[in-house]
Amino acid sequence: MNKKIGLREAISIGIGGMVGGGIFAVLGLAVSLAKGGTPVAFLFAGLIALLTAYSYAKLSKKFPSNGGTVKFVHQQFGNGVFAGGINNLLWISYIVMLALYATAFGSYGAELLAITGKKTFDAHLLQTGIIVMALLINYLSIKLVSGIESVSVIIKLLILTAFIGIGFYGFTVHPENLEQLAPKNWEDPLLMLSGGMVIFVAYEGFELIANSISDLKNPKKNTEKAYFGAVGFVIVLYILIAFVTVGALPFKEIASAKDYVLAKAAEPSLGNMGFTIITITALISTFSAINATILGSGRVNYDIAEDQELPQYFCHKLWGKPIGFLITAILSIILVNLFDLESISTAGSAGFLLIFCVVNYIGYKKHEELKSKKSIHLVASVLCLIAFFTLIIQQFSQNTIGVFVAIGIIIFCFALEFIYKKTATNTNV
């Protein structure tokens, strides 16, 4: 019998999924797009996440399952090409997230090594190496993965809270730094919205709560609290982090340190010690996120294959674990070595916005069964769709490769499902 988890543990799963590597990877990217309006960009993205959490909470309560998003899609769309394509997109989006976390690990790791004098160290070696190490840990011990994640959540929240506190104290010493946050330094609303959508990947982790609802104590009472507690807390945390970061450094310095800006933002108050502490926190956080993402992605891949939306080969096991772990890691290594941070972030955000649009639509269609407000589901679905197209249109002008990667992944996921279904049908005939 599975051990039941309490509300606090469920909220921790959501916070751990969101405050993984995302904030360390995309904060500099958000500032480069939104400038002084970065806290507003995080608010935009957070509100979409909060509305989507409503759909997830209602669906999780009605259809509790370790399959989470995969099972919600099946409830509405059955086992056809569309359902398979969306579930494949979920799996590939996990792979994109893994590449994003590895990119952040490599950037922060290279900067930490630079302090020791190794200024030419190749970040790609760190990115590839950390994925391989996490893969081995997943094959050796799932329990160790959970242990790393539990410890990591405590460490990163404590240090990020201290970072915020010290940052606000810095404003009392240097109030002129607040000038950068003035509305005159904000980008136009469309660019701020786009900035919020590019960094939407920093919020996607709340959907991991869906995988644990079947083990939650008193789900009727605690499901909504778990989702809203996790997302609400992270929205406030991200806005405060963005506020402190923009106020700590000139925009030029933020741009030059875009891939490791959180560590750079600790320097004005704490010098090299602050840079080192935040960098080590980033390494711990992204490493734990990589571990957890390989685990989650491998399981999603296995569930999709069990539902006959991918070849049965994906149900095979290696060393007693799903072979999807290995496939996920290999694809992530390819991705992280081919594309830059912004392209990876664009692809990840586009994938999850489309998935969340579909999940919100499912909530809308099933609102009577869920006993929920269909207007909230509808607004959330439309906002996700608008955000998706805003992201694609805005990024096309300055990050064409990222847009092609995002669109290419979406097309690939549905084409893969169409070919598999057609092949499987012909084989059965």
pLDDT digits (tens, 9 = 90+) for 215-251: 788 888 888 998 999 999 999 999 999 888 888 888 8
- Domains and their CATH numbers in the chain: 7-421 (1.20.1740.10)
Q: What is the spatial distance between Cα 393 and Cα 382, in angstroms, rounded to a whole number?
A: 16
pLDDT surpassing 70 at residue 384 = yes
Is the sign of the CA dihedral 388, 394, 397, 399 positive or negative? Answer: negative
- Any idea of the CA torsion for 44, 376, 12, 66, to the nearest 10 degrees? -130
Give whichever of 105-109, 286-290, 296-300, 315-319 has the largest mean pLDDT: 105-109
Amino acid at 279: T
Q: What is the pTM of this model?
A: 0.86
Q: Which two tokens stand for residue 317?
A: 């096991």
Of all residues in the chain, the percent with pLDDT exceeding 90 is: 18
Question: Tokens in use for 17?
Answer: 């999924």
The pLDDT, as a whole number, for residue 234 is 92
Residue 427 has pLDDT above 60, yes or no: no
- Is residue 360 over pLDDT 90? yes
* Cα four-point dihedral sign 350, 351, 356, 358: positive
Left (φ > 0), alpha (ψ -120 to 50) or beta: where does 182 sit?
beta
E-strand ranges in 56-144 read none
Q: Which backbone phi and psi does 203 adopt, to 5 degrees?
A: -105, -15
In angstroms, rounded to a whole number, what is the distance separating the alpha carbons of residues 282 and 21? 7
CA dihedral 362, 366, 369, 375 (to 10 degrees): 100
Consecutive H or E run containing 321: strand 321-322
Say what angle helices 374-398 and 400-428 make with each other, to 10 degrees: 120
Predicted pLDDT of residue 172: 62
Q: What share of the chain is helix, strand, coil (3-state, %, to 5)?
A: 85, 0, 15
**Start-to-end Cα distance in the chain:** 41
Model pLDDT, residue 118: 57
Q: What is the pLDDT confidence band of residue 281, given thresholds at 50, 70 and 90?
A: confident
Could you read off the pLDDT of 55-94 as tens digits, one per residue? 999 999 888 876 788 888 988 888 888 988 998 898 888 8
Nearest-5° Cα angle at 380, 222 to 42: 85
At residue 1 the predicted structure's pLDDT band, cuts being 50, 70 and 90, is very low
Q: Please name the residues in contact with 297: beta carbons below 8 A apart, sequence gap of 6 or more.
A: 91, 94, 95, 98, 324, 325, 328
Q: Which helix (H) or strand (E) holds 291?
A: helix 267-306
